[in-house]
């Protein structure tokens, strides 16, 4: 039997997260106790949440993270390798087989920036990847970037430049900081992508 008033997957996610107000939650629960189709959709959302959790633990995503995410990873026994090169400077870095997450802490004054992009550049400074409009608080004072551990473990020795750029109200772009990571391969083999 097809549900005549199906619950949206995002609302079901809110329900699973405990993010619905009392009356709305009660409405969802009454519906779920009467509807296997929406129950099936909730199971899909639960599976999605569980799988995202596994993906996050793998450290394979390139993304901006919070300190809370790092603290949780450490609490779960994951090994987190962190580097904090100064703005305009560089740092020697590597990864080992035991590392789970690779973090770069990029200190910068983000105030006044309406939008912040993180650009990943090669050793010549040529942009290879841009994370546009990253999720950062303008008062944070730093961007916490997670490099893909899959990428890093496969990487040969190389230099990578991270560049933070901000956009003001008028949309004018300005450099907020540039950070050089001098990666030395310490894993066996030559490394290749």
Q: How far is the CB of 120 from other proteins (least distance, A)?
A: 12
173 binds other proteins (CB under 8 A): no
Secondary-structure percent of the chain, ordered helix, strand, coil, rounded to 5: 30, 30, 40
Residue selected from 3, 32, 87, 107 as contacting other proteins according to rule CB under 8 A: 32
Q: Which two tokens stand for residue 149?
A: 């551990």
Q: How far is the CB of 162 from other proteins (least distance, A)?
A: 14
Interface mask toward other proteins for 118-137; x: CB under 8 A: -------------xxxxxxx
154 binds other proteins (CB under 8 A): no
78 binds other proteins (CB under 8 A): no
Radius of gyration of the chain (CA): 21
Q: How far is the CB of 192 from other proteins (least distance, A)?
A: 20
Report the Cα 126 to chain-centroid distance in Å: 23
187 binds other proteins (CB under 8 A): no
Q: What is the DSSP string of 62-123?
A: -EE--HHHHHHHHHTT--EEEE-PPTT-EEEE---TT--EEEEEEE---TT-SEEEEEEE-T
Residue selected from 43, 79, 114, 174 as contacting other proteins according to rule CB under 8 A: 43
Residue selected from 24, 44, 127, 168 as contacting other proteins according to rule CB under 8 A: 44
């Amino acid at each position: 039997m097809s549900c005549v008033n199906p619950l949206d997957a995002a609302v079901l996610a809110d329900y699973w997260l405990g993010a619905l107000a009392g009356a709305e939650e009660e409405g969802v629960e009454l519906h779920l106790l009467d509807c296997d189709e929406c129950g099936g959709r909730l199971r899909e959302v639960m599976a999605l949440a569980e799988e995202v959790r596994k993906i996050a633990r793998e450290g394979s995503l390139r993304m901006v993270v919070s300190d809370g995410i790092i603290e949780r990873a450490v609490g779960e026994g994951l090994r987190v390798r962190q580097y904090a090169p100064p703005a305009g400077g560089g740092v020697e870095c590597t990864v080992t087989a035991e590392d789970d997450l690779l973090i770069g802490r990029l200190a910068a004054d983000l105030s006044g920036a309406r939008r912040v992009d993180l650009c990943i550049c090669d050793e010549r400074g040529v942009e290879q990847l841009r994370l546009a409009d990253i999720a950062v608080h303008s008062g944070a004072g730093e961007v916490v970037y997670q490099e893909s551990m899959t990428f890093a473990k496969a990487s040969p020795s190389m230099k990578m430049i991270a560049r933070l750029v901000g956009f003001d109200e008028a949309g004018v772009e300005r450099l907020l900081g540039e950070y050089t990571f001098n990666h030395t391969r310490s894993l066996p083999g030559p490394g290749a992508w």
